[in-house]
């Protein structure tokens, strides 16, 4: 029963909220994660499941995203107890509850094949993530949360608007207006093209806001910068990917309607714009968590760019969805540790992390190499696949731009990362006496192992899932 | 398509302009609430012959948009003990003009799109677009956090109008979900506004700009 | 068989540093284990490579499934790969031996283990990439090498300068890697698969892209002027045995890439060869010119790497021209000379860096003008350095002369019989080569004289001591190898012929042997005669002057009290030459010379920055960053502005794209 | 292709005996111009023999490198001398690219001479070494370019063939360019052997000297070796230049050898004339002279385009 994927985390969230013992509570998150992961694994084995009369369907695309989100959450969940132990005197009840609710709503969003329901789910996911951002309870985090909430809500309000346009194009096409994904794909050939175009543009902007494509990315640096590293990982690897999934669904509809070229063109443009903006804002970035936010903007750009290129690029993009998520997890968790170690996220105060928090700094450096697409890490495989798709497609100028952006981003990001890890730590920082703990370093290590694995040996089940998903996107 | 639709839609448009023009915060909230109520009525009128569910949707809209949310906002106002002016970035006349121009453009935009016959006559879609634009204008030109919330609300209203055009696409459950989300969203925003006014001793979101490059 | 040995060597080398991680920092056990493992790896890898060199290559190597998109684990050791493999393993091993004393674990508690870990990884990665036959495997090896090298360069990352050069290196290598991404993508579009195998049509537009991207990507690693920007700083600031490996071996992987890529195209257009030739001459002349201007002994050696890469490129360019014009003898001489010079430079440049390292270790400075008279306290190091200096200047009877001779003869053959364009280009390149040789002589006389001859110019130099035997032995081995190739070039000639046949298979039947084309036998005769004559003469003179009185000062035209500071410094030695190349070197001079009848004490300083890096790239980069900073007000913190962006994007897309 | 035994012997005799005589001729010529009697023709022999018998003194700063300088100088010069053909007669051995060996042998000799100079730690000798190095950098390309022209014209890579019996015929084809090359090589000869106008062997101002100042501290046998080595080097260049300038046909053996020796001495005479009629150039102007030599050779090459 697919609904379990949604119910279980929500229920556990409620339990966590109600649990009196602050000792026990953090461990409910891993519990929920394990349960969710187990369920996910079970459903991934199944051919294809549906529920609520086709409103909830687990199709190949959904399998990829769901599987990844579940994995991401599983690893991050085990970071929670260690992290909360580092932050004594914080109210953990809302935090843990919100985490689990976040997982539940994200699952709902992934499963739902009714665009309206999808909208409801992603809005709820946004709302449930607001308390996570506000965890630090200071002015900065308050401001970040406000911006995240307002911009996000407006964005997905637009998304709903777009969904209506889509429904209207069906209505105009002479069918009953429906927001069921299957109906839309089935009736796609009859959809009214102008409405479809407008609908896709609005949806791209709407869900693009949630995904963090430039120039709708403005909430990202604030949110990722002020949220705990763990939340950053979940947003960058979870919620953004859900929004991406939504966009993928509309690309599918456009493709079915024979308007794939139109959609892909927009995606390529948005992708390059996002990468450019990321590169510009990373240059000389003094705040390493904001830097990670821009890196996330860049990689969202790469995702849509890959889809826009199409062909092999589609597979590359889906592969990158996984690789980028893993890399971001690695980066955010290690960055979180460094933040704890130095008590600051400005590179003026943070230098020589390799000496103060050796493991985390090394992980951070590795994460940097991974996310910038160095062989043999996973992201290299996906970015290289996308590049090849562009070149073999004869789009040399586009490929050249893509490489140029990668270079700019690397130059900017490298400067900041190296400033953080290398050199001598200040005496104030040394005085803090931070110690690496297993629970805070372990999950990051797992991420590192996985991201390397994706680069040197992609397990056949995984590549099978990815190929199926890519195929389902490619059908015109 | 019943003819008694357009007057209500015109009323919605007028409320948009009023929202842009008024200087009083209470009035702003009130008019947005009124707009909600009108929308509820609209929903009922559009599918008047339809079954119980249309009634439920309409009722839900009226209750949530027309009563609960305004209550929340008034409460937030009281808690924050803010004085009453709206404090826009740009004057009221310019924003009125913007609204008017927006409404005009919306009509033109609706013309460019191929409508189904029964919508050709009505102002349904132009109203929707215009309301969405109004929401955006309020969101981008008003200083106070609470007015921005109202802006968001108006944006939603515009979308709701669009939804009226295709009710069977939005079954009751989803419609309810949307309303619920809206409600929770506003609730959370209200809470945050509360914190803001405590932390910053003001709701002026222009102050909320310490996070920047 | 060979492949298995090589793969085994790679695996062992990669892991050589790992056991040390589990051993207490203070213990020396870790470094011993690492060295032992590296020795095993070298034994396996080098023997595999050597076997591939002597026995004609057979079979098609190893091929396993590799479940990544486009990946296949294809390893094949042909003569080209084997030549590079042999050098990689041997030099890395010698460097490791040297490191045992130069970078004692007990003296470097914080970074010793890290250094050895990545030293092994670096060796393995280099060996992997030169034997890989699959684009992704190659790229993996390539980037692992680059990153390991970065971590080795920044071993002492507490120092600001080290951090800066590390960053420059990282950016340079990444840009190169991105070029290679594009190159392999184009290759894929050309071939349809990921194998690095020819023959391919050189006149396809994608082939041109492959060549140009490859030239930039690999040239950045090799340090072809003007792509050399990262090289001087990195070589100067890394620990000396790392510099030795980098300059001796690592930058050669760039050459390997060029050779491998060009080998895929049977009939390259003539301008390929011309271009490589031109850049070769440019890097040769400018590299050595910059070297002459340096004060820092390791920067100086680094610029000489640029010079020697230039010489190698001249050979490669000649070979390309020969292939384009179907002149097999040019292919043999050009490619043979280039590849032999790859070996030779690997030997004498590592030798020089190791010797420089022991000087630095003994005196604690890299500043040439603070050294002097070191031949007395450190005779062995001095002798080793002298051998290296003579060899790198391309003088008989050492190995540098052999490879340059091959290239010279090739150029002269191109001159004597050849169409107009070819022979004029060849003639000018020959003149350029002569200029390079003479400049190298000047530069190394300067270094050897200023560092090892005369008298010490500073306290620390005066207290210098001979290096530890674990540092001297590797230098000795390298020196002997230099002498061996110099005296018995016939021993390596067959390898070069086979390499040429591997590079240009379509010509393999026509290729005559380099022995026939170049006077290698006679060179041996002359060199032996020279050695004998010098030996006899030396002994005669020694006997004749046995009775010479000791302890007298330099006559120096009867100058009364010469002091150490009056010696001709390296900068004064170089002054005229630097002036001659001032148009390119742009030396910065400050200080005021003494003037007037009773001059107040004057002072004079001259400094030669890297024109490309310090006058072009760094300012350009700063300007770009400033431009980016101006765009930052977009992210100004106002949520209203952000919402406007969303609306604007919506409108923009609707107008420009929705309109379609 | 090694020559006949008689040839080898004759060649050896010339190489060993002639060089000092050239110095003698030069000095005689200069004396004649100066209206002096001048030292006897054989004076250089006396000097060298005397020096070889003297004892010597070595500064405490010097090392074995200081002693190696003269030895290597002589060894390389003699080896070069047996490789070059004299008067159309091939050298001991002749092979493709032998002229490169010659050039690089001189390079080696220069390397050690300069190193020996630096070994004294004297500012003067360092100065000399610096100048030697600098000017060699320009002389080398000029030399190679000249030989390229010869190689191109004669279609051979071996000195003995380039300057061999075919010379007269080649002259008929490439005379013009050979004239240019000859001039270029003459300039190179003056520079490489530190004669006026590049350097003044017997000035009394160390600051202006190049070669002489490098060997200031050598005395006794070492100095003797240096003198002899220098003269042999001069002989080698002169032999090449002589054959290029006077490509007379070959008669019977003895006549050929006679002509060879005389032509070499004629070059010496020419040098003497130049030294007596020209003033020494300022150091800063010497590079332009050598660049001019390079350009002459290049023109010589260009003339061969066909």
The 10s digit of each residue's pLDDT in D40-49 is 999 999 999 9
A215 domain residue, yes or no: no
Beta bridge mates, C195: C134
Residue B163 has pLDDT above 90, yes or no: no
The Cα–Cα gap between A70 and A185 comes to 27
A395 domain residue, yes or no: yes
A402 domain residue, yes or no: yes
Give the mean pLDDT of A321-349: 94
Q: For residue C478, give how far its alpha carbon lies from the nearest alpha carbon of chain D (Å).
A: 20
Mutate to test the interface with B, among C634, C643, C654 (most CBs of B within 10 A): C643
Residue A69 has pLDDT above 60, yes or no: yes
DSSP label at residue D280: P
Residue C421 has pLDDT above 90, yes or no: no
Higher pLDDT, D248 or C584: C584
- Nearest-CB residue to C637 (from B89, B141, B212): B212
- For chain B, the residue count is 213
- Nearest-CB residue to C645 (from A216, A385, A410): A216
CB contact under 8 A, B139 and C640: yes
- pLDDT, position B50: 61
**Do residues C265 and C207 touch, judged by C-beta distance below 8 A?**
yes
Asked if omega into C397 is within 30° of 0 (cis), the reply is: yes
Asked if the C-beta of B205 comes within 8 angstroms of chain C's C-beta atoms, the answer is: yes
Query: CA-based angle D288:D291:D292, to the nearest 5?
Result: 85
- The two beta strands, A56-58 and A49-51, are antiparallel
**Do residues A321 and A68 touch, judged by C-beta distance below 8 A?**
yes
The token pair that represents B111 in the structure block:
């013309």
Query: Which of helix, strand or coil describes residue C73?
Result: strand
Residue B83 has pLDDT above 70, yes or no: no
In tens, the pLDDT along C585-605 reads 888 888 787 888 888 887 878
Quick check: do A and B touch, 3+ CB pairs under 8 A?
Answer: yes
The Cα–Cα gap between D22 and D227 comes to 12
Residue C9 has pLDDT above 90, yes or no: yes
- pLDDT, position C58: 67
A351 domain residue, yes or no: yes
Share of chain A above pLDDT 70, in %: 100
DSSP label at residue A432: T
The Cα–Cα gap between B159 and B162 comes to 5
Q: Indicate the pLDDT class of residue A85, thresholds 50, 70 and 90.
A: confident
Give the mean pLDDT of C140-144: 95
Q: Indicate the pLDDT class of residue C659, thresholds 50, 70 and 90.
A: low
- pLDDT, position B203: 64
The token pair that represents A124 in the structure block:
């709820």
Q: For residue C319, give how far its alpha carbon lies from the nearest alpha carbon of chain D (Å).
A: 19
Q: Exposed/middle/buried for A47, CB within 10 Å: 0-12, 13-18, 19+?
A: exposed
Give the mean pLDDT of A231-256: 94
Residue B86 has pLDDT above 90, yes or no: no
Q: Indicate the pLDDT class of residue A319, thresholds 50, 70 and 90.
A: very high
Q: Exposed/middle/buried for C51, CB within 10 Å: 0-12, 13-18, 19+?
A: middle
The number of folded domains in chain A is 1
The Cα–Cα gap between C447 and C444 comes to 5
Distances (CA, A) of A234 to A80, A322, A333, A368, B35: 12, 13, 10, 18, 38
- pLDDT, position D2: 46
In the numeric block, the tokens 């050695």 are attached to C531
Query: CA-based angle D139:D141:D143, to the nearest 5?
Result: 65
The Cα–Cα gap between B19 and B137 comes to 10
- Nearest-CB residue to B208 (from C632, C633, C639): C639
* Long-range contacts of D203-212, Cβ-Cβ distance < 8 Å, separation of 24 or more: D203/D280, D206/C557, D206/D124, D207/D124, D207/D127, D208/D280, D208/D283, D209/D128, D210/D128, D210/D131, D210/D132, D210/D135, D211/D128, D211/D132, D212/D128
Residue D111 has pLDDT above 50, yes or no: yes
Asked if the C-beta of D299 comes within 8 angstroms of chain C's C-beta atoms, the answer is: no
- pLDDT, position D133: 92
Q: Indicate the pLDDT class of residue C385, thresholds 50, 70 and 90.
A: very high
- pLDDT, position B93: 87
The structural domains of chain C, with segments of one domain joined by +, span 1-183+226-253, 267-537+566-589+605-609, 612-656
CB contact under 8 A, C632 and B89: no
- Nearest-CB residue to C638 (from B136, B206, B213): B206
The token pair that represents C1 in the structure block:
């068989």
In tens, the pLDDT along C446-482 reads 999 999 998 888 888 888 899 999 999 999 999 999 9
Q: Which residues contact A224 (CB under 8 A, 6 or more apart)?
A: A232, A235, A236, A289, A290, A292, A293, A296, A332
In tens, the pLDDT along A211-242 reads 999 899 999 999 999 999 999 999 999 999 99
Neighbours of chain A (3+ CB pairs under 8 A): B, C
Residue A451 has pLDDT above 60, yes or no: yes
Cα end-to-end distance, chain B, whole Å:
53
The Cα–Cα gap between A114 and A125 comes to 16
**Do residues C306 and C440 touch, judged by C-beta distance below 8 A?**
no
A440 domain residue, yes or no: yes
Determine how many CB atoms are found less than 10 A away from the CB of residue C149. 27
Q: For residue C168, give how far its alpha carbon lies from the nearest alpha carbon of chain A (Å).
A: 9
**Which phi and psi angles does D131 have, rounded to 5°?**
-65, -45
- pLDDT, position B210: 81
The structural domains of chain B, with segments of one domain joined by +, span 5-203
**Do residues C310 and C284 touch, judged by C-beta distance below 8 A?**
yes
Asked if the C-beta of C70 comes within 8 angstroms of chain A's C-beta atoms, the answer is: yes
Q: Which residues contact C204 (CB under 8 A, 6 or more apart)?
A: C190
Quick check: do A and D touch, 3+ CB pairs under 8 A?
Answer: no
Taking the CA atoms of chain C, what radius of gyration do you get in angstroms?
A: 26
Measured between beta carbons, the chain C residues lying within 8 angstroms of A221 are: 635
Buried b (16+ CB within 10 A) or exposed e, D22-43: bbbbbbbbbeeeeeeebeeeee
Q: Exposed/middle/buried for D248, CB within 10 Å: 0-12, 13-18, 19+?
A: middle
Distances (CA, A) of C527 to B144, C59, D105, D143: 91, 40, 10, 22
Share of chain C above pLDDT 70, in %: 98
Q: Indicate the pLDDT class of residue A34, thresholds 50, 70 and 90.
A: very high
CB contact under 8 A, B211 and A225: yes
Quick check: do D and C touch, 3+ CB pairs under 8 A?
Answer: yes
In tens, the pLDDT along C151-163 reads 999 999 999 999 9
Buried b (16+ CB within 10 A) or exposed e, A306-316: bbbbbbbbbbb
- pLDDT, position B58: 84
Average pLDDT, chain C: 91
- Nearest-CB residue to D67 (from C449, C542, C557): C542
The Cα–Cα gap between C595 and C294 comes to 27
Q: What is chain C's percent helix, strand, coil content, to nearest 5? A: 75, 5, 25
Region of residue C284 (left: phi > 0; alpha: psi -120 to 50; beta: else): alpha
Give the mean pLDDT of B114-120: 82
CB contact under 8 A, B159 and A157: yes
Q: Which residues contact C660 (CB under 8 A, 6 or more apart)?
A: A197, A262
Query: CA-based angle A42:A48:A51, to the nearest 5?
Result: 90
Q: Exposed/middle/buried for C52, CB within 10 Å: 0-12, 13-18, 19+?
A: buried
Instruction: Identify which of D175, D218, D212 has the alpha carbon closest to the alpha carbon of residue D66.
Output: D218
Q: Which pTM was predicted?
A: 0.94
The Cα–Cα gap between C230 and D40 comes to 63
Average pLDDT, chain A: 92
In tens, the pLDDT along C265-306 reads 999 999 999 999 999 999 999 999 999 999 999 999 999 999
Buried b (16+ CB within 10 A) or exposed e, D255-293: ebbebbbebbbbbbbbbbebbeeeebeebeebbebbeeb
In tens, the pLDDT along A106-158 reads 999 999 999 989 999 999 999 999 999 999 888 899 999 999 999 999 999 99
Q: What DSSP letter does each residue of A347-390 carry, written as one string? A: TTT---HHHHSHHHHHHHHHHHHHHTT-TTSHHHHHHHHHHHHH
The structural domains of chain D, with segments of one domain joined by +, span 5-302
Asked if the C-beta of D292 comes within 8 angstroms of chain C's C-beta atoms, the answer is: no
Q: How crowded is the C-beta side of A139, counted as CA atoms within 13 Å?
A: 13
With a threshold of 0.90, tell me whether the complex ipTM lies above it: yes
Determine how many CB atoms are found less than 10 A away from the CB of residue B134. 29
**Do residues B2 and B61 touch, judged by C-beta distance below 8 A?**
no
Query: Which of helix, strand or coil describes residue C63?
Result: strand
Instruction: Identify which of C92, C230, C224 has the alpha carbon closest to the alpha carbon of residue C150.
Output: C230
Beta bridge mates, C607: C588
Query: Which of helix, strand or coil describes residue A163?
Result: helix
- pLDDT, position C539: 94
Q: Which residues contact D201 (CB under 8 A, 6 or more apart)?
A: D194, D195, D209, D211, D212
- The two beta strands, C72-75 and C62-65, are antiparallel
């Amino acid at each position: 029963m697919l609904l379990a994927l949604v119910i279980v985390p929500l229920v556990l969230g409620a339990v966590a909220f109600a649990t009196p013992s602050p000792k026990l509570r953090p461990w409910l998150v891993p519990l929920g994660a394990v349960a969710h992961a187990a369920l996910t694994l079970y459903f991934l084995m199944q051919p294809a499941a549906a529920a609520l009369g086709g409103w909830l369907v687990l199709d190949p695309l959904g399998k990829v995203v769901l599987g990844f989100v579940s994995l991401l959450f599983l690893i991050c969940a085990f970071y929670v107890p260690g992290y909360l132990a580092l932050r004594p005197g914080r109210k953990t009840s809302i935090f843990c509850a919100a985490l689990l609710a976040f997982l539940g709503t994200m699952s709902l969003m992934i499963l739902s094949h009714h665009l309206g329901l999808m909208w409801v789910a992603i809005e709820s996911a946004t709302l449930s993530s607001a308390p996570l951002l506000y965890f630090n309870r200071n002015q900065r985090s308050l401001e970040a949360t406000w911006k995240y909430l307002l911009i996000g809500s407006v964005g997905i309000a637009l998304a709903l608007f777009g969904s209506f346009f889509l429904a209207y194009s069906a209505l105009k096409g002479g069918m009953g207006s429906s927001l069921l994904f299957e109906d839309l794909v089935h009736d796609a050939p009859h959809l009214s093209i102008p409405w479809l175009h407008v609908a896709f543009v609005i949806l791209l902007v709407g869900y693009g806001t949630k995904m963090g494509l430039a120039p709708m990315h403005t909430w990202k640096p604030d949110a990722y910068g002020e949220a705990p590293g763990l939340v950053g990982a979940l947003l960058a690897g979870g919620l953004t990917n859900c929004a991406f999934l939504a966009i993928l669904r509309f690309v599918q509809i456009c493709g079915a309607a024979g308007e794939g070229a139109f959609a892909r063109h927009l995606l390529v443009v948005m992708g390059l714009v996002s990468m450019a903006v990321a590169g510009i804002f990373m240059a000389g970035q003094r705040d390493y968590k904001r830097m990670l936010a821009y890196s996330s903007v860049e990689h969202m750009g790469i995702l849509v760019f890959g889809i826009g290129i199409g062909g092999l690029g589609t597979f590359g993009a889906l592969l990158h969805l996984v690789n980028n998520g893993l890399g971001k997890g690695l980066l955010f968790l290690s960055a979180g540790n460094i933040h704890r170690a130095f008590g600051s996220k400005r590179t003026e105060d943070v230098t020589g992390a390799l000496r103060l928090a050796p493991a985390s700094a090394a992980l951070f450096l590795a994460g940097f190499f991974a996310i910038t697409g160095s062989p043999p890490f996973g992201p290299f495989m996906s970015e290289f696949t996308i590049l090849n798709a562009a070149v073999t497609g004869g789009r040399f100028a586009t490929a050249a731009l893509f490489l140029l952006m990668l270079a700019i981003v690397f130059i900017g990001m490298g400067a900041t990362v190296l400033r953080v890890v290398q050199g001598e730590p200040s005496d104030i920082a040394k005085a803090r006496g931070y110690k690496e703990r297993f629970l805070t370093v372990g999950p990051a290590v797992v991420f590192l192992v996985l991201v390397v694995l994706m680069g040197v040996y992609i397990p056949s089940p995984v590549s099978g899932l990815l190929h199926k998903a890519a195929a389902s996107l490619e059908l015109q | 398509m019943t003819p008694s639709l357009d007057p209500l839609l015109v009323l919605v448009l007028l409320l948009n302009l009023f929202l842009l023009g008024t200087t009083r915060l209470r009035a702003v909230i009130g008019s947005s609430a009124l707009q909600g109520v009108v929308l509820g009525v609209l929903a009922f009128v559009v599918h008047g012959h339809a079954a119980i569910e249309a009634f439920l949707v309409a009722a839900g809209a009226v209750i949530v948009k027309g009563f609960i949310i305004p209550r929340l906002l008034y409460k937030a106002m009281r808690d924050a003990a803010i004085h009453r002016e709206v404090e826009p970035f740009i004057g009221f006349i310019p924003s009125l003009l913007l609204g008017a121009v927006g409404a005009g453009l919306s009509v033109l935009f609706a013309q460019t799109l191929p409508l189904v016959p029964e919508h050709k006559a009505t102002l349904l879609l132009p109203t929707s677009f215009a309301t969405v634009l109004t929401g955006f204008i309020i969101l981008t030109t008003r200083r106070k956090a609470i007015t921005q919330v109202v802006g968001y609300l108006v944006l939603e209203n515009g979308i709701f109008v669009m939804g009226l055009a295709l009710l069977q696409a939005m079954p009751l459950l989803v419609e309810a979900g949307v309303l619920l989300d809206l409600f929770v969203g506003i609730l959370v925003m209200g809470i945050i506004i509360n914190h803001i006014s405590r932390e910053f001793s003001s709701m002026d979101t222009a102050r909320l700009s310490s996070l920047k490059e | 068989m060979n492949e298995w040995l090589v793969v085994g060597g790679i695996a062992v080398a990669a892991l050589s540093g790992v056991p040390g991680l589990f051993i207490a920092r203070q213990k020396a056990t870790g470094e011993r284990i690492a060295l032992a493992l590296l020795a095993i790896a070298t034994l396996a890898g080098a023997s595999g490579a050597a076997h591939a060199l002597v026995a004609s290559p057979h079979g098609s190597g190893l091929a396993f499934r590799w479940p990544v998109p486009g990946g296949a684990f294809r390893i094949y050791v042909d003569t080209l790969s084997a030549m590079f493999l042999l050098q990689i393993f041997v030099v890395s091993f010698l460097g490791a031996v040297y490191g045992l004393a130069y970078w004692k674990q007990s003296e470097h508690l914080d970074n010793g283990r890290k250094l050895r870990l990545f030293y092994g990884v670096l060796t393995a990665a280099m060996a992997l990439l030169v034997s890989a036959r699959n684009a992704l495997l190659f790229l993996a090896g390539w980037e692992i090498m680059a990153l390991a090298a970065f971590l080795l360069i920044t071993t002492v990352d507490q120092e600001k300068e080290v951090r800066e050069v590390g960053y420059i290196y990282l950016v340079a290598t990444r840009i190169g890697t991105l070029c290679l991404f594009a190159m392999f993508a184009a290759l894929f579009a050309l071939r349809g698969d990921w194998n690095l195998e020819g023959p391919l049509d050189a006149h396809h537009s994608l082939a041109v892209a492959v060549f140009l991207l490859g030239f930039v990507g690999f040239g950045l690693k090799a340090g072809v002027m003007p792509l050399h920007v990262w090289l001087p700083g990195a070589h100067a600031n890394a620990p000396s045995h790392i510099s030795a490996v980098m300059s001796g071996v690592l930058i050669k992987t760039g050459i390997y890439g060029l050779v491998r890529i060009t080998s895929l195209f049977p009939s390259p257009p003539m301008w390929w060869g011309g271009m490589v030739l031109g850049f070769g001459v440019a890097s040769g002349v400018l590299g050595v010119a910059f070297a002459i201007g340096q004060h820092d002994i390791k920067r100086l050696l680094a610029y000489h790497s640029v010079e020697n890469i230039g010489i190698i490129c001249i050979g490669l360019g000649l070979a390309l021209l020969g292939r384009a014009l179907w002149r097999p003898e040019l292919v043999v001489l050009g490619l043979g000379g280039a590849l032999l010079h790859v070996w030779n430079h690997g030997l004498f440049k590592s030798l020089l860096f190791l010797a420089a390292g022991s000087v630095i270790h003994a005196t604690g400075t890299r500043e040439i003008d603070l050294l002097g008279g070191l031949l007395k306290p450190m005779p062995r190091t001095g002798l080793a350095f002298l051998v290296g200096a003579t060899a790198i200047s391309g003088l008989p009877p050492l190995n540098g002369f052999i490879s340059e001779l091959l290239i010279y003869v090739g150029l002269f053959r191109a001159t004597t019989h050849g169409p107009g364009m070819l022979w004029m280009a060849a003639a000018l390149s020959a003149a350029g080569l002569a200029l390079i040789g003479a400049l190298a002589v000047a530069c190394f006389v300067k270094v050897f004289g200023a560092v090892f001859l005369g008298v010490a110019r500073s306290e620390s130099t005066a207290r210098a001591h001979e290096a530890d035997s674990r540092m001297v032995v590797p230098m000795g081995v390298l020196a002997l190898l230099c002498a061996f190739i110099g005296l018995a070039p016939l021993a390596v000639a067959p390898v070069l012929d086979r390499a040429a046949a591997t590079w240009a298979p379509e010509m393999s039947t026509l290729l005559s042997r380099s022995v026939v084309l170049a006077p290698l036998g006679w060179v041996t005769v002359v060199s032996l005669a020279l050695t004998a004559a010098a030996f006899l003469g030396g002994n005669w003179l020694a006997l004749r002057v046995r009775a010479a009185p000791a302890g007298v000062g330099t006559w120096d035209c009867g100058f009364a009290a010469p002091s150490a500071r009056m010696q001709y410094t390296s900068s004064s030695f170089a002054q005229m030459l630097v002036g001659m190349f001032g148009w390119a070197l742009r030396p910065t001079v400050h200080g005021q010379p003494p003037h007037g009848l009773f001059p107040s004490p004057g002072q004079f300083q001259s400094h030669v920055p890297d024109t490309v890096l310090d006058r072009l790239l760094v300012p350009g980069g700063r300007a770009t960053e400033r431009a980016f900073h101006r765009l930052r007000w977009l992210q100004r913190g106002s949520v209203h502005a952000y919402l406007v962006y969303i609306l604007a994007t919506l409108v923009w897309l609707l107008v420009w794209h929705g309109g379609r | 292709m090694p020559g006949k035994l008689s040839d080898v012997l004759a060649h050896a005799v010339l190489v060993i005996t002639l060089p000092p005589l050239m110095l003698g001729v030069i000095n005689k010529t200069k004396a004649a111009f100066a209206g002096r009697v001048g030292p006897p023709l054989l004076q250089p022999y006396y000097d060298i023999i005397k020096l070889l018998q003297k004892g010597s003194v070595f500064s405490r700063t010097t090392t074995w490198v200081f002693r190696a300088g003269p030895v290597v100088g002589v060894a390389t010069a003699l080896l070069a001398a047996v490789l070059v053909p004299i008067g159309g007669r091939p050298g001991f051995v002749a092979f493709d690219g032998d002229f490169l060996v010659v050039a690089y042998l001189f390079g080696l000799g220069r390397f050690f001479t300069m190193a020996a100079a630096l070994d004294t730690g004297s500012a003067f000798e360092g100065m000399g070494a610096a100048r030697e190095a600098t000017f060699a950098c320009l002389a080398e390309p000029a030399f190679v370019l000249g030989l390229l022209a010869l190689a191109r014209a004669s279609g051979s890579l071996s000195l003995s063939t380039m300057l061999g019996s075919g010379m007269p015929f080649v002259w008929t084809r490439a005379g013009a360019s050979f004239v240019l090359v000859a001039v270029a090589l003459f300039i190179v000869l003056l520079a490489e052997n530190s004669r006026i106008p590049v350097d003044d062997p017997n000035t009394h101002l160390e600051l202006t000297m190049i070669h002489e100042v490098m060997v200031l501290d050598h005395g006794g046998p070492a100095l003797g070796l240096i003198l002899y080595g220098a003269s042999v080097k001069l002989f080698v260049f002169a032999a090449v230049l002589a054959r290029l300038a006077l490509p007379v046909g070959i008669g019977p053996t003895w006549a050929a050898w006679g002509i060879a020796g005389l032509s070499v001495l004629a070059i010496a005479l020419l040098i003497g004339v130049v030294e007596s009629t020209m003033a020494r150039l300022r150091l800063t102007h010497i590079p332009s002279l050598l660049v001019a030599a390079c350009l002459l050779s290049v023109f010589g090459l260009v003339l061969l385009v066909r």
